[in-house]
Amino acid sequence: MMKKNKRKEKICLFFASDYHFEMISLPYINENLKKNKNVIIMTENNLDNTVNKVLENVNLAKEDKERITKINWKNNDLDKFKEVKNANKEGKETLIFIKGKENYIENMNRNIENWINNSDVKVVDCYDINEIKEDASNIEKNYTKILDFVLSKKLTRQDYIIAIGGGVVGDIAGFAASTYMRGIKFIQIPTTLLACVDSSVGGKTAIDTKYGKNLVGAFYQPNYVLINANFLKTLDERQFKSGLGEVVKYGFIEKSCNPEAPAMLLNYLTEHSEKILSRDIMTMKELIKMCISLKISVVEKDEKESGLRKILNFGHTYGHAVENITKYKKFTHGECVVEGIHFALNLAFKLNLINKEYKFLCDDVLKKFNFKQIPQFDKNKIINIMTTDKKATQNKIIFELPTEYAQVKEYSFSPNELKTLF
C-alpha cells in the first residue's frame, strides 16, 4: 500500500497496434519532456523500433531525448530499473508508460508501488488487445469483456474510457461507457476515415445483434473527439473506400443538413477526387472538416433523431439490409451505404423525384471513386429485412430519397408498394 503523502495518477488506454501507441503517445511524451519530467517506457516485448520512431519525431534536443528510459522486461533489464529508482530519488515528477498484456501491466504496477518515492508519478497503462471483429457474436462478447475489465479495475465516473480505432471500436467503447455506472467519461480517437467523418461525432453508440444492425445502443456524447488525418495513411484501400462511402453521402444531403450555407461538397469531391484517392493530407483534413461541420449542424438541431437527423440515414436502409443478409462479413459498411445510395437514386428516379440530369451527376460522382460492386439480392428477403430496420414504423419502410440538388426527403412504403418499385 502507498503512503498517504504519495500521489499516483492512472490512465488506461487500449491499443490495437504499435502504430496506435506511436501516434497517441508522441504528443504526450513530448509535452512531459518539455516540462523536465522523467519519462519511462516499460514494454513487455522489444519495441526499440517503435520507441525510436517516437523519439525521432519528438521536437527536442538529443540530450533531452536521452532522458527517456527504456525498459524491456523480457530482456531482464534490471540494471536500468535500478537507474530509474535512483533517478526518482531526485524528486522529479515522473511519467511511466507500461505497454503489454494485462498480466504484465499488473506485475509492473506492483513493482512500481515498491519504489515510488515522494515525487509525483503518473502511470499510463497501454493494454495490447486483439482486433475487434465486426460480427454480432464477437461484438457482444467484447462488450461484456470491456465491462468486466472496467469493473475489475474499479473505474469511477471521474475516469475515462478511450476508444482508439474505427467505427466498431468507437461504438462498442461508447456503448460500454454509456452503460457503466449509467455513464462514464468517454473519448473518441478515430483512426479510420469512416469513424473520422461519421461514427465518432454525434453521440450514437450501439452494438449489432443477430437480429439487425445497431438495434441495441444509446445516444451518448463523447467528452472529446481527437482526429489525426495521418492515421488514414495506414488504412488498406478497401477500408479507405469504405469511409469515402459516408463522405459521398454527405455530398448528396448537404443542403438538407444546412440550408443556409452554399452546397460545396459535391463539387469538392468532383474537383479533388484524385487528391482524395491519393490521401493528400491537406485535402483530407478539409474533407473531414466539411463532413463533420455538416453532421454537427444536424446533431445540434436533433440529437435524438426525432426529425432532421434522419437525413443522415440516406443510403442506410437498404445498406443495412445488405449487411444483415450477408451476416456483416462480406461487405464493409461503406460499401453497403454506397449500394444503398444507388438504390435510393434509382427509386427516386422511378418516382420522378429527380430528373435524368441530376441522377447522371450523382452517378458520375460515385464512379469517380470506383466503389466495390455489390450483386443484387432476392428482393423479398431484402424487403423482409428492411421491415425490421429500427427506422421502420407500422409496417412501413422508411427511406431518405433525393429530391433536388444535395437535398433529401423522407418517404415511406409498404412492403407490397416497394416490391412493385424494385
295 catalytic residue (yes or no): yes
Name the catalytic one among 241, 249, 316, 342: 316
214: alpha, beta or left? (left if phi > 0; alpha if psi -120 to 50):
left
72 catalytic residue (yes or no): no
93 catalytic residue (yes or no): no
d(CA 264, CA 262): 6
Cell (9 digits) for 144: 461484456
Name the catalytic one among 305, 323, 335, 339: 305
342 catalytic residue (yes or no): no
Closest by Cα among 396, 400, 403, 402 to 418: 396
Name the catalytic one among 37, 241, 255, 295: 295
Cell (9 digits) for 247: 463522405
Name the catalytic one among 4, 62, 110, 182: 182
Name the catalytic one among 333, 339, 391, 400: 333
Name the catalytic one among 213, 249, 255, 309: 309
Phi, psi of 94 (to 5 degrees): -130, 135
Name the catalytic one among 44, 246, 323, 339: 246
Name the catalytic one among 30, 88, 313, 324: 313
- Are the C-beta atoms of residues 98 and 108 closer than 8 Å to each other? yes
Name the catalytic one among 99, 204, 310, 391: 204
Name the catalytic one among 241, 255, 320, 391: 320
Give the catalytic positions in this structure.
182, 204, 246, 295, 305, 309, 313, 316, 320, 333
